[in-house]
């Protein structure tokens, strides 16, 4: 990619690469992988949908867009400036925290957040994660049937995130349910409007806790968020609220989707279950392969901030760019047999966590949560079989590609936890109104 065009080179017009494409089209939901292969025949293309945007579907170019934050902005000016954030069409609400901000603010805030997401910080929480997984599996283990998404993969990341933030753990069910619904209910429907109201309730609850943390600071992430400084000044409590909601939003359904794809694939390939459990060292590469294959975040967008040339195509300031991470993760130029799951794949350069300065801050959490859940599921319910015909995928995969429901059967087993957590959460369920 170059910032300026070589005067002697003929630049192609976007009309030469215009395709008929809309990432909200149900065709994409039907098969994200096939859609990606189709698009990659013209790896940088243009569509007129939603006011027009570039579609980047090859690994090299998508990765480069993520890295070149000087050209491709994440910021969201809320309708008051050129930056339009991560979503197409643009969502003109308050910018979504650091994920929709650019340097220098992004750099300053991310540097302060870093220690909370370090390997050391995550490792310190592993024992608690194991205990929490035990709690969720205990809830279903005697029944011999469950819903992987609703009973395990949905609520568990919610509980981990609440513990990180220092919020009451009994919020895990409503918070997980609300965030789960926001990723798949289409905008404009009455169901979506109802969830938007629930989101307001969630924000109101977090806001109350921000007030409490300011009065009574604790060693938790929510307290920390109220102390972030930009240019030497503390951020406003409303900005801390946006960062808290970003953490909740970013960490829940993505991890749920990763686990869902993992369980469905393992159910279809049962010989891999025992292979995985033979050596814990196999879990790391396997997690990355599921991340690549599933690409929980399908795609995200940027705004071009200055004229720029890619593959002889002239991008103009103000153009929108859609980075199709899922397609990049199935690019045969980078991955041998890209549509095969190879649990021992080496040099797995997937971009499921994106690339560049916005690369997922919570990726170590995601990997640790995945390992905690997969280890216990394979140990305690190793013969699980997903009812493939009853699996309900999310209807719109334009942002994330997971599941609403995934029924499963297995041989019942005994509870092994202390039951303390069960007592806490069942005695203090908050109301969502």
In order, the DSSP letters of 147-175 are EIIIIIITHHHHHHHHHHHT--GGGHHHH
Give the nearest distance from C-beta 356 to ligand HEM in angstroms. Answer: 7
Whether residue 89 is preceded by a cis peptide bond, meaning omega within 30 degrees of 0, is yes
Cβ closest to ligand HEM, residue 47 vs residue 295: 295
Least distance to ligand HEM, CB of residue 122, Å: 9
Closest to ligand HEM by CB, 18 vs 108, is: 108
Q: Whole-number minimum distance, CB 262 to ligand HEM, in Å?
A: 10
| Residues near ligand HEM, by CB under 6 A | 66, 86, 98-99, 110, 161, 246-247, 250-251, 254-255, 258, 296-297, 300, 352-354, 358, 360-362, 365-366
Which of residues 286 and 360 has its CB atom nearest to ligand HEM in the complex?
A: 360
Residue 95 or 404 with smaller CB distance to ligand HEM = 95
Contacts of 192 (CB under 8 A, 6+ apart): 185, 186
**Is omega for the bond preceding 104 within 30 degrees of 0, making it cis?**
yes
Residue 69 CB, nearest approach to ligand HEM (Å) = 9
Please give the full DSSP string across 60-115, using - where no structure is assigned. HHHHHHHH-TTTEE--B-TTSSS-B-S-SS---SS--GGGG--TTHHHHHHHHHGG
Q: CB 62 → ligand HEM: shortest distance, Å?
A: 10
- DSSP 3-state of 357: coil
Nearer to ligand HEM (CB atom), residue 133 or residue 141: 133
Whichever of 176 and 254 has its CB closer to ligand HEM, that residue is 254
| Maximal CA-CA distance, the chain | 73
**What residue spans of 142-282 are helical by DSSP H?**
155-165, 172-184, 190-215, 221-225, 237-251, 253-268, 271-278
Helix (H) or strand (E) holding 59: helix 59-67
Encoded tokens for 168: 């009451």
Instruction: Provide, rounded to whole angstroms, the least separation between the CB of residue 189 and ligand HEM.
Output: 26
- Least Å from the CB of residue 260 to ligand HEM: 11
Question: 259 or 421: whose CB is closer to ligand HEM?
Answer: 259
Least distance to ligand HEM, CB of residue 290, Å: 9
Shorter beta-carbon distance to ligand HEM: residue 5 or 228: 228
| Residue (of 178, 354, 224, 366) closest to 287 by Cα position | 366
Nearest CB to ligand HEM, comparing residues 141 and 315: 315
Question: 């279903």: which residue's tokens?
Answer: 140
State in angstroms the smallest separation of the CB of 105 from ligand HEM: 11
Q: Round to whole Å and give the CA distance between 297 and 360.
A: 11
In three-state secondary structure terms, 322 is strand
Per 3-state DSSP, the chain is made up of helix, strand and coil in percentages (nearest 5) of 50, 10, 40
């Amino acid at each position: 990619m170059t910032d300026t065009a070589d005067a002697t080179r003929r630049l192609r017009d976007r009309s030469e690469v215009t395709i008929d494409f809309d990432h909200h089209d149900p065709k994409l939901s039907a098969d994200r992988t096939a859609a990606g292969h189709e698009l990659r025949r013209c790896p940088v293309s243009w569509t007129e949908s939603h006011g027009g945007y570039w579609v980047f579907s090859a690994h090299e170019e998508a990765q480069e867009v993520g890295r070149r934050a000087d050209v491709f902005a994440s910021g969201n000016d809320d309708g008051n400036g050129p930056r339009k954030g991560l979503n197409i069409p643009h969502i003109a609400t308050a910018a979504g925290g650091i994920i929709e901000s650019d340097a220098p603010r992004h750099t300053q805030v991310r540097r302060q957040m870093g220690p909370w997401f370090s390997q050391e910080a995550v490792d310190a929480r592993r024992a608690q994660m194991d205990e929490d997984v035990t709690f969720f599996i205990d809830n279903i283990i005697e029944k011999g049937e469950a819903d992987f998404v609703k009973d395990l993969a949905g609520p568990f990341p919610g509980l981990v995130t609440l513990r990180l933030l220092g919020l009451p753990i009994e919020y895990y069910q409503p918070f997980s349910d609300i965030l789960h619904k926001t990723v798949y209910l289409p905008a404009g429907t009455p169901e979506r409007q109802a969830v938007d109201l629930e989101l307001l309730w969630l924000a109101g609850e977090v806001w109350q806790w921000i007030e409490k943390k300011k009065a009574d600071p604790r060693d938790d992430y929510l307290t920390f968020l109220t102390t972030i400084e930009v240019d030497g000044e503390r951020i406003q409590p409303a900005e801390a609220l946006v960062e808290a909601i970003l953490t909740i939003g970013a960490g829940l359904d993505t991890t749920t989707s990763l686990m869902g794809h993992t369980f469905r694939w393992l159910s279809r390939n049962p010989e891999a279950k025992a292979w995985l459990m033979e050596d814990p060292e196999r879990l790391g590469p396997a997690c990355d392969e599921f991340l690549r294959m599933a690409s929980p975040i399908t795609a995200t967008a940027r705004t071009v901030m200055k004229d720029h040339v890619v593959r002889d195509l002239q991008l103009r300031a103000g153009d929108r760019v859609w980075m199709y991470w899922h397609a990049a993760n199935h690019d045969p130029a980078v991955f041998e047999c890209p549509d095969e799951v190879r649990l021992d794949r080496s040099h797995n350069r997937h971009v499921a966590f994106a690339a560049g300065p916005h690369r997922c801050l919570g990726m170590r959490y995601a990997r640790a949560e995945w390992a905690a859940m997969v280890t216990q599921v394979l140990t305690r319910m190793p013969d699980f079989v997903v009812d493939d015909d009853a699996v309900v995928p999310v209807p719109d995969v334009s942002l994330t590609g997971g599941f609403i429901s995934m029924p499963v059967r297995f041989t019942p087993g005994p509870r092994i936890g202390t039951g303390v957590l069960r007592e806490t959460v069942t005695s203090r369920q908050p109301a969502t109104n």
